[in-house]
Structure 1
Amino acid sequence: MRVFLRFCIFFITISIQAQGSISGNFSPTKDFKWLIAYELTPNGERYTKDTAVKDGAFTLEMPVTAQAGMYRLVYAVPQDEFYIDIIYDKKEEVKFNFDLQDGLTITNSIENKWYNEYFSKITTAQDRLLEYYELGKDSKKEYMTILKELQTLQDTYEENHANTIAHKFIKANRSYLPTEYENLETFLKNKKQHHFDHLTINDPILQGSNFLTDKFASYVFSALPVNITTKEQLFTEVIKNVNVTASKIANTSTGFQVRSFHQLWNIADANGMAEVQDYIFKNYLKKVAIANNDQKLVDELEMASRLRIGAISPNITWEINGKKKSLSTIDPAENYLLIFWSSTCSHCLKELPTLHKELKEYEDLKVIAVGLEDDAINWKKVSATLPAFNHAIALGKWESDYAKTFGIQSTPTYFILDSEKRFLAKPESDKEVVEFLEN
């Protein structure tokens, strides 16, 4: 009897921890071949499982050890662009259809349906409020109707879907709503003041998803005064918001802080806010990345800042007839072209002679060609056939200082500089070089 009892207890335990699954159908079928599932954690993505997609269909039998939470299903590269985020609660079998044009349709998961339905409806209602302000409407009745709809939606979804993973997101998404009419300036001021009221910043599931980092980004780049008129004012206000956000996440894990600050850095980069980028990196991101043993990220961001459009190029030196020359002291010109090539690179041997010929008509252009080489023997022969270029050599090829400083991943690589030797463009080919100079 005792043996039987132990067997039953063990069997029940195994049953409770039984595997669940995520399955679905992709369209067009020819565009989907493989799927990788990652658990989203505060410190980043954790590989869970992968499977082939056959004729547009797949089934992921989730491991028994898989935790309930948010999972990212990556279906193409780059992985940070082509993915679907799904709630996996270990209770439901998750099924969906995904079409590249029509998007995601959940077919067999009540919790995922709630999640998507809530955010769709609340976004539509919030857009109505923004539209009210943007159109300069003055109907107090319409205004209060919109507020009531927003309040009812929020309350209904919070009350009806408690004790679910979806509820964590729904509750944390509760935003400021006035109790009476407010003009736009007052509304934005109050909305900003209450932005963090309902964000459960230490919740690991919220930290693992994009939810919190998106909320931080919204605050930093959107919670701004309406009377900003200059770039300097904009950057000042954005940096103030960065500091507030930093204070809110100061006690979270370093991995989560790295992700949060990195996203803010990326958004500043995409919007040409170099001053904001540098501030985020120097004051927060570099410190937490080093604390998180992520020197690779530090190196990548330092290189990105060093090579960004508008930055002054790092120096390059070479010799002509025994005399040292450098980019920093070269004669003035309207433009400079940096070429990183190799005498053993077939693409280089095809593109550079053609480019050498075409650039002869550009009198106010100076070209510095840096050979990434294992030795100087072949480089001397080939570079001699391109006499209009200034030639420098970087022994050590991919491991050379120049290759690392300029982040060279392939040859030829081109950079066009302005008269002050600031980066203007990074053409992909000799043809793009000529097109840029022509325009």
Structure 2
Amino acid sequence: MRVFLRFCIFFITISIQAQGSISGNFSPAKDFKWLIAYELTPNGERYTKDTAVKEGAFTLEMPVTAQAGMYRLVYAVPQDEFYIDIIYDKKEEVKFNFDLQDGLTITNSIENKWYNEYFSKITTAQDRLLEYYVLGKDSIKEYMAILKELQTLQDTYEENHANTIAHKFIKANRSYLPTEYENLETFLKNKKQHHFDHLTINDPILQGSNFLTDKFASYVFSALPVNITTKEQLITEVIKNVNVTASKIANTSTGFQVRSFHQLWNIADANGMAEVQDYIFKNFLKKAAIANNDQKLVDDLEMASRLRIGAISPNITWEINGKKKSLSTIDPAENYLLIFWSSTCSHCLKELPTLHKELKEYEDLKVIAVGLEDDAINWKKVSATLPAFNHAIALGKWESDYAKTFGIQSTPTYFILDSEKRFLAKPESDKEVVEFLEN
């Protein structure tokens, strides 16, 4: 659950600097045990402080060395899902209540209220402009009234809240507004052209938050021509937008570039844009990650790419009666099933015999079972009881090449391939394997 909260700390100086605190209540109380604060920097999260949540209440004492900026309050795992993002300016004492059903209520933070009020009002007005176009309205008077409201809101909040951290976000959020009526196609074209006009990309507080990366994502995947009719056209335009974004952040830190490109990669992944994923990774993300000494991210994304649905499976080799066989040269079939198992795995010894029996009726299916083993002794005995399977062995178990290539974390692990040996599905159990093949 993601909540964006403007946060300020009341900072007192009486001969020495005192600590600021964040206090509040969580509900239902039983669901909250601990709270961890991280400073959000251009290069990622930096641990700041943590505290227990007792009977739903907490007080988080912030270190006197904590800098003004964006902070993330993590209240559950996974921490990239359960958090509250805040801005801490060391001036206000902040109190809030958070309920899993009703969300966030700020009980003491004027600047937070300014921030939330601005984004609420500007979003409502922007929705009215979008509705005007979507409904095909033709009243110029109504159109100009909406533009005036948007302009007035933006000017008022920028002028009234200068010298605050909120002002950084308000000013950077200023978007293109026409001075006279424009049809939808012209408006979107001009809006795209001016998308980056007010984004202070090198501001460390904006970089630390999700604000800029969300703006980049909006540009890449939403600032598109209205006349796109094919997926090929869509991919081409998105890649053009990726290139523009890359040019805008070329002089930022490698850590910030990694975060920005990784978010674009994830969105492309969620939308089935494999070509965009590969383009981002090969041209920008891999280089930035290596420069940022993040080889693990490179390895993880390379593995995700080679195992994604639609990708051709890496090859597997084995021997039958002294003759070498491989997945790439095996006889044609409608489907192939890859099983990664171990002769010392109790779940495998329970599932595989049953699956072996059930799959005998599938004549146009080839099964390759890869044993992740420390030695071949027990594997030979057990694999012999599954004669309908093609058997390969990967000595070294979890450290074997096959385990690393296919990202095996547990056994048994299943992959179903199509006739071209492309990944079709990744069933979680033998039952799911059969269900997929039946359907």
Aligning the two structures, in what range does the TM-score lie when normalised by the shorter sequence? over 0.9
Q: 1:6 to 1:123 in 2, by over 3 A?
A: closer
Shift of 1:66: 0.9
| SS of equivalent residue, structure 1 residue 7 | coil
Distance in 1 (alpha carbons) for counterparts of 2:115 and 2:357? 61
Question: Is the Cα–Cα contact under 8 Å of residues 87 and 111 in structure 1 kept in the other structure?
Answer: no
CA deviation string 1:399-436 (max 9, x = no partner): 00000000111111111100000000111111111111
Shift of 1:344: 1.1
Question: Is the Cα–Cα contact under 8 Å of residues 305 and 311 in structure 1 kept in the other structure?
Answer: yes
Give the equivalent residue in structure 2 for 1:66: 66
Distance in 2 (alpha carbons) for counterparts of 1:136 and 1:130? 10
CA deviation string 1:146-179 (max 9, x = no partner): 1111111111111111111111101100100111
RMSD (Å) for aligned C-alpha atoms: 6.1
Q: 1:15 to 1:92 in 2, by over 3 A?
A: farther
Which moved further from structure 2: 340-349 or 202-211?
340-349
Q: 1:96 to 1:323 in 2, by over 3 A?
A: same
CA deviation string 1:253-298 (max 9, x = no partner): 0000010011111111110111111111111111111111111111
Shift of 1:4: 46
Q: 1:269 to 1:435 in 2, by over 3 A?
A: same
Which moved further from structure 2: 237-246 or 112-121?
112-121
Segments of 5+ residues of structure 1 without an aligned counterpart are: none
Distance in 1 (alpha carbons) for counterparts of 2:3 and 2:427? 74
Q: 1:413 to 1:121 in 2, by over 3 A?
A: same
| SS of equivalent residue, structure 2 residue 349 | helix
TM-score (norm 1): 0.96
Question: Is the Cα–Cα contact under 8 Å of residues 8 and 111 in structure 2 kept in the other structure?
Answer: no
CA deviation string 1:209-256 (max 9, x = no partner): 000000000000100000011111111111111111111101100000
Shift of 1:9: 23
Shift of 1:17: 3.2
| SS of equivalent residue, structure 2 residue 79 | coil
Question: Is the Cα–Cα contact under 8 Å of residues 188 and 223 in structure 2 kept in the other structure?
Answer: yes
Q: 1:101 to 1:8 in 2, by over 3 A?
A: closer
Distance in 1 (alpha carbons) for counterparts of 2:180 and 2:260? 34
Paired positions, count: 439
CA deviation string 1:318-373 (max 9, x = no partner): 11111111100111111111111111111111111121121111111111111111
Q: 1:62 to 1:8 in 2, by over 3 A?
A: closer
CA deviation string 1:86-136 (max 9, x = no partner): 111111122111122221111111112211221122111111111111111
- Structure 1 stretches (4+) deviating beyond 3 angstroms? 1-17
Give the equivalent residue in structure 2 for 1:143: 143
Question: Is the Cα–Cα contact under 8 Å of residues 339 and 415 in structure 1 kept in the other structure?
Answer: yes
Question: Is the Cα–Cα contact under 8 Å of residues 308 and 423 in structure 2 kept in the other structure?
Answer: yes
Shift of 1:13: 6.5
User: Identity, % of aligned pairs?
Assistant: 98
CA deviation string 1:45-99 (max 9, x = no partner): 0011112222222111011111111111111222111111011111112211112
Shift of 1:16: 6.1
Distance in 1 (alpha carbons) for counterparts of 2:133 and 2:382? 66
Question: Is the Cα–Cα contact under 8 Å of residues 342 and 412 in structure 2 kept in the other structure?
Answer: yes
Question: Is the Cα–Cα contact under 8 Å of residues 268 and 276 in structure 2 kept in the other structure?
Answer: yes
Q: 1:7 to 1:140 in 2, by over 3 A?
A: closer
Give the equivalent residue in structure 2 for 1:15: 15
Segments of 5+ residues of structure 2 without an aligned counterpart are: none
Shift of 1:30: 2.0
Q: 1:3 to 1:297 in 2, by over 3 A?
A: closer
Distance in 2 (alpha carbons) for counterparts of 1:197 and 1:122? 18
